[in-house]
Amino acid sequence: MVVGAGRFTDDTAPFNALHVAFLRAPLAHARIKAFDAGNARRLPGVVAIWTGEDPEIAALGPLPAFARLPDGMLREPPRPLMARERVRYAGEILAMVVADDPNRALDALEAISVDLEPLPAVVEPRAALAPGAPSIHDFVPDNLACSWSKGDPQAVAAAFARADRIVRVSERFARIAAAYLEPRAVWAVHDAESGVTTVTLASQGAHLQHRLLCAVLGWPPEQLRVRTQDVGGGFGPKYASYPETALIAWAARRLARPIRWTASRTEHFLADAHARDFDAELALAVDREGRFLALEVDAVAGLGAYLSTFAPIVATTGTARVIGGLYRIPAIAVRVRLAYTNTAPVDAFRGAGKPEALFLLERAVDEAAAALGCDPIALRFRNLLRREDFPWTTALGYTYEPFDAPALLERTLALADYAGFPRRRSCARPRHLLGFGVACHLHATSSLGGERARLALREDGSFAAWTGTQDTGQGHANALAGLIARALDQEPHSIRIAQGDTEDLPDGPGTGGSSSLVVSGNSLVRAAQRLRALILEAAANELEVAAADLELMPQAVRVRGTDRVLTLAELCRRARERGLLLSVEQHQEDPAETWPAGVTAAEVAIDPDTGAIAVVKLATTIDVGRVVDPAGAEGQVCGGIAAALGQALLERILYDPDSGQLLTGSFLDYAIPRTRDLAPLAIDWHHTPSRRNPLGIKGLGELPTNGALAAIANAVFDALRPLGVRALTLPYTSEKIWRAIREAGGLAR
């Protein structure tokens, strides 16, 4: 990748492939009165045009969500591959053009005439649930997909009744975009002789795409092959399934021609799954001594116009699994309502509900400290779980793995030089307002399951490994090769990792939920242990010694204490001659769920005259059990914190509230973090090995995002608290801060 040798989806498409362009709805809500594609069909190079009204297209689909809530709870209107009768968000597909040249395809889009009758639109989740709101689906006239709850409201009410203080925090979490380096891309080719259509796309898991495509298109599984090669970033939205993928697969078979499509950056903002869109309030009850008694969450989450692949579980179980944080909280109740709006669908993005939940909790802890007149750090120490509390099951029924929360907090404060902060704050005034914030956080890793890893000795003496998870830029191959090499006493460069092809493996979970190393790492190490025994047994037969007398070494097997050596290449050749394959398949045995934890601290500096804000110091201590790839792990922490910084200070998908038009459709309007936005980052590791898998590892990728958002927010409010600023909404842009300071009366010089 570093030397530019990556092979991304757009790089691998057949040279003779036809090009696809999609006509997208210019209105957020409208009735489709008429299509006229006659002029477009007559343009040079145009091969085919389909609309949602064509019987062939109408017979496809619908595109289903994959994740589920309890039966009967969720109202899911069908999601067509192209809009039919009504448009429900700006960017929804109206027509598909296939042409021999990308520019001719775009010309044909402009020649299509569509008569749309505008309808009232609603983009805010709470507004969508209000009486009289425009109805988006006839099947769901009140726009309420479901009302989900968990916990014990009676116990919470009783705790609130005896509390000394109840603090409330609320936040309207803005939508954000994945903004990955590589936009979505798909190409497909049909082999008439075999009857197999091969789809190659940028995804987070070929097997999930295969499963959903077969369901949408009605094809037998053996007639579809799905491949994913190098991927330039996923972060969640490339796990989801999209109409474009199914349409391109179908068109390649229908036309018996290779077909390709790569999304423009505008299409990314319009049509890729967004994230967050969460409007919530959390109430925390504390007693006179500052002990946490109970908490309650009431939230409305926007789904967009349709239910995307994992959307049902993001704001519901995603919130509930971590809402207790690292604290002893005896009673918890959560209620989340899911609302349809005239916006692009949402789905999982790094953290998938956890950053918002922990933001609310950690903001409430700081507000409780202010209400009690105590130090927020001391209040945390008073309520943190201790080693003797484990095994700990939260009030919502989730059982954590052990971690040392006080040690995590102590080490982070030392890394951030918290003791020196008062001096730094005093020296900075009045030119800058300094603020310090911490957040205690955790994650619950997860996976779709179904890993069936395979490991084999090759004829040249190297090893090939196949895994059902998917690298989207994290460097899985390095970490997995290192684990296998250590288990087989080989050099890592002799291990070839293959992934992303449904022809290679019958099943696989893909990559999501920070679980790839937990799932694939442990499965491949188990496979390596079995293959090691198989190799030694085969070599023992060839060398006529006991297997216990042999040792594996790079590229060879040796009789201990002698110079008798059999190369692995020769062993593989002899084994094949006897009909013995030195290969093993390993089904997943270890649970994907682990509970990594951490504490993150942030220091910010705000210019009171302009509102300009800079994060000047970041520190975090992470417990992910055993760290098997230190360089990769550090990269995950940096990337996760960068994602949180973007959500805290910069990123916001914005729709016009009246028309539903997207206002942030390019990087001219949508800001993402750059290198200069990131402060120096101090990272330390605290190792409490997981007892749920042989490697003792816990997932990492989303944990830093879960904590850094709240840490930065607490630092911002700490800086502004002396001025009387009590309310801000994410993201904390310089303009918002400047206005808040002015409304609070400005800085007393």
pLDDT digits (tens, 9 = 90+) for 14-41: 999 999 999 999 999 999 999 999 999 9
Residue with tokens 């689909």: 61
Residue 32 tokens, joined: 């489709």
Interval 403-414: pLDDT, tens:
999 999 999 999
β partners of residue 614:
605
Question: What average pLDDT does range 316-343 have in this prediction?
Answer: 98
User: pLDDT-based confidence at 77, cuts 50/70/90?
Assistant: very high
Other residues' Cβ atoms within 10 Å of the Cβ of residue 390: 15
Interval 356-379: pLDDT, tens:
999 999 999 999 999 999 999 999
Q: Per-domain residue ranges for the chain?
A: 9-119+186-261, 275-446+593-743, 452-587
pLDDT on residue 71: 74
User: pLDDT-based confidence at 749, cuts 50/70/90?
Assistant: very low
How far is Cα of residue 563 from the mean position of the Cα atoms in its chain? 52
User: In this structure, what DSSP letter does residue 362 have?
Assistant: H
Residue 72 has pLDDT above 90, yes or no: no
Q: What is the pTM of this model?
A: 0.97
Interval 714-746: pLDDT, tens:
999 999 999 999 999 999 999 999 999 999 987
Q: b/e per residue, 524-554, with b = 16+ CB within 10 A?
A: bbbbbbebbebbbebbbeebeeebeebebee
Measured at the CA of 278, the angle between CA 291 and CA 591, to 5 degrees, comes to 70
Interval 416-430: pLDDT, tens:
999 999 999 999 999
CATH number belonging to domain 275-446+593-743: 3.30.365.10
- Residue 153 exposed, middle or buried by CB count within 10 Å (0-12, 13-18, 19+): middle
Distances (CA, A) of 289 to 157, 160, 292, 368, 394: 19, 15, 9, 11, 22
User: pLDDT-based confidence at 3, cuts 50/70/90?
Assistant: confident
Q: What's the mean pLDDT when you consider all of the chain?
A: 97
Q: Do domains 9-119+186-261 and 452-587 have the same CATH topology?
A: no
User: pLDDT-based confidence at 747, cuts 50/70/90?
Assistant: low
CATH superfamily membership of 9-119+186-261: Aldehyde oxidase/xanthine dehydrogenase, a/b hammerhead (3.90.1170.50)
**Looking at domain 452-587, which of 3.30.365.10, 3.90.1150.10, 2.40.30.30, 3.30.830.10 is its CATH number?**
3.30.365.10
Interval 605-646: pLDDT, tens:
999 999 999 999 999 999 999 999 999 999 999 999 999 999
Using DSSP bridges, classify how beta strands 224-227 and 196-201 pair: parallel, antiparallel or unpaired: parallel
Interval 127-176: pLDDT, tens:
999 999 999 999 999 999 999 999 999 999 999 999 999 999 999 999 99
Interval 519-567: pLDDT, tens:
999 999 999 999 999 999 999 999 999 999 999 999 999 999 999 999 9
C-beta contacts of 211-218 below 8 A and 24+ residues apart: 212/63, 212/64, 212/66, 212/241, 212/309, 213/241, 213/245, 213/246, 213/249, 215/64, 216/60, 216/61, 216/62, 216/63, 216/64, 216/81, 216/241, 216/246, 217/60, 217/246, 217/249, 217/250, 218/60
